Amino acid sequence: MEHLSKGEPTGFEDQPPQAGLFKVLARYVPYFRNPQHVLVFKLDCLLLTWTFIAGILKEMDQSATAQAYVSGMKESLNLYGNELINFNTLFSVGYAIGLIPGQLIQTKVRPSIFLPFCEISWGILVTCIAQAPNAKTIYALRVLLGLFSAVFWPTAVSMIFNWYTPAELAKRIAFFNVSDAAGGMFLSALQAALYTNMNGVHGIAGWQWLFIVSGTITIGQGLLGLVIIPDSPLLTRAIWLTDTEKRLARKRMADFGANTSNMIPTKVVVQKLRKLIFHPVTYFFLAAFALQAWANRANSFFTLYLKALEDSSGNLRFSTYQVNVIPMGGYALQILINLGLNALSDWKHWRWQISVAPALLLGIVLSVLSAWPSDWRVIMTFYFLTYATNAGSPSLLAWMAELLKKEPEARSIIVALTVTIVYIGHATIPIRVWRTSDSPRYPIGFPLATAFIFSSIFVQLGMLWWGRRNTQLARYGYDASNVSARLDEESSEPTEK
C-alpha cells in the first residue's frame, strides 16, 4: 500500500510556497498560495507539455511517410505498388513486438532514463529515412522505428495516471491524446511549407527535408526528457519538484486511494501478470479500446481520397499543397471536441457516457461512408466528421484507471497489451481491408469499421454492467476476491451473546 513515510510533517499541503519563484508569485496571485495548485501547474507546464510535444513529434514522424508519399516520395522511389501499406504494416509489427517488453523493462529501469533513450534512437532512425535509396531500406527502418516508438504512448499515459487525480485525469489524457491531431495538423503545414520553400534546396527534395526536420527535433526533445520526466511520486527525483511537492504528490494519490508505480521484484511482476491475464476488466478494456481504434482508422486515408479526387473534366480537384492543408480543419475539429467532451467527463464524472457517445456518432458516420454517396461534398463532410468522433478514448482510459487504481503496474501492462493488439490489427487488417487498390471507396473497409465501432459500444456497456456489480475492485485491487471471501466468512460466523 502507498502511504506517507513515518516522520514526514503533516499540514504541508496547506502551506503556501516557502521559497523560490512561486513564493514571490503567491504574494500577487492568490491561485499560487495553494501548494496543490503550484504542483499541478508545474506538472502541466513540464510533464504534460513534454508528453504533448513528444506526442506531436511522434505523430509527425509516424505520419511523415504517408505525407511524403503524396508529396513526391512515391515518384522519387518508384513506389507504385502496395509499398505504403507495407511501410505501415512493418511499423506496426515492430510496435506490437516492443510494447509489453518496453513496460516490463520499466519495472527495473526508471522511465526517466529508458524513455529518453528510446526517443533519441527514434529521432536518429527518422532522419535516416531521408537518405533511403529504396523501399527495402525503408522496410527495415520502419520495423526499428516501431520497436523504439512502442515505449512512448503507454509510458506517457502511465505517468499521467500516476500524477493526476480523478477530477484532473480525463482532460489531461485528452490534452495528451490530441497531440496526434495537433501533430497531423502541424505536419500538414510543415510539409506544405517544405514542399513550397525547401524542395530542391542543397539537392534535397521537400519530402526528404520532412524526415530531416522531424527527426532532428525528436532528438532534442528526447534530451529534454532526461530532465523533465519525473518517474512516479514514489520514485521521483525530478529537480523541478521540491521535497514538499514530492510529499504532496504522494499524499494526493493516497487520499484518492490510488497506488503509483514503483520498482518491483520480478516475482511480483509475474504474480500481477497472472492475475491480469484472468481478470475480466483486462478483456473488457482491451476489446472496447481495440475495436474503437480499428474503427477510427477510417480517416487515415483521407489524404489519398483528396489526392485522387477528380473534377468533371478528369483533372485533379486539389493540388499537392491543398492535399496537405485541407486535413488541418479535421485535426482542429478533433482537438476542440476532445478537450471539450473530456473536460465535461471530469466535471460530471461521465466516464462511460463520454466514451460511448462519440462512438455512436462514429457508427452513424461510417454507415454513411459505407453507402458511399454520389456527391463528393457529402463524402468530404462525413470524412471530416470522423475527426469529431475520435474523442472517447481518454474517458475510456480514465474509467479503466479508476477501476484499477490499486494496480499501477497492471494499468501500464494492460495499456501496453491493448495497444499491442491494436497494432497487430493495424499491421494485418489494412492488407486486405484498406488496400490502396480499393481507394477511395474501400468496399470492405468502411462496413467492417462500422461493425467494429458498434461492437465496441456493446463491450463498453458490458464493462459498465460488470463494474457496477463488482465495486470492490476499485477499493482493494486484485485482492478484492480474497477480501470479499474473508468478509463473507466473518459475516457468516455466529455472534456471541
Q: Which of 256, 288, 318 is the last residue of a domain?
A: 256
pTM of the model: 0.82
> 283 — phi, psi (to 5°)?
-85, -30
Whether residue 364 lies inside any domain: the answer is yes
Domain check: are 173 and 42 in the same one? yes
Task: Find cell 516492443 and name the residue.
Answer: 98
Domain check: are 235 and 275 in the same one? no
Domain check: are 271 and 251 in the same one? no
Domain check: are 393 and 414 in the same one? yes
Domain check: are 304 and 229 in the same one? no
Domain check: are 362 and 440 in the same one? yes
Q: Which of 256, 281, 312 is the last residue of a domain?
A: 256
Domain check: are 345 and 411 in the same one? yes
Largest CA distance in the chain: 95
Rounded (10°) angle between helices 393-403 and 327-348: 30
Where residue 443 sits, what CATH number does that domain have? Answer: 1.20.1250.20
Domain check: are 244 and 272 in the same one? no
Whether residue 471 lies inside any domain: the answer is yes
Whether residue 315 lies inside any domain: the answer is yes
Whether residue 202 lies inside any domain: the answer is yes
Range of the domain at 396: 264-475
Whether residue 492 lies inside any domain: the answer is no
> Residue-wise pLDDT tens for the chain (497 aa)?
344 444 445 555 666 665 677 778 878 888 888 889 999 999 999 999 999 999 888 877 677 777 777 777 888 887 877 778 788 888 888 888 888 899 889 888 999 999 999 999 999 999 998 888 888 888 999 999 999 998 999 999 999 999 999 889 999 999 998 887 777 677 667 666 766 777 778 878 877 888 888 889 999 999 999 999 999 998 899 999 999 899 999 999 888 877 777 777 778 778 888 888 989 999 999 999 999 999 998 888 888 888 888 888 888 888 877 887 788 888 888 889 999 999 999 999 999 999 999 999 999 999 999 999 988 889 989 998 998 888 999 999 999 999 999 888 889 889 989 988 987 887 788 888 888 788 888 999 999 999 999 999 999 999 999 999 999 998 888 886 665 555 455 555 555 54
Domain check: are 210 and 230 in the same one? yes
Domain check: are 210 and 276 in the same one? no
Please list, in sequence order, all residues whose beta carbon lies within 8 angstroms of the beta carbon of residue 82, skipping any fewer than 6 positions away: 435, 436, 437
Whether residue 429 lies inside any domain: the answer is yes
Q: How many domains does the chain have?
A: 2
Whether residue 328 lies inside any domain: the answer is yes
Whether residue 232 lies inside any domain: the answer is yes
Domain check: are 299 and 405 in the same one? yes
Domain check: are 251 and 317 in the same one? no
Q: Which of 230, 256, 282 is the last residue of a domain?
A: 256
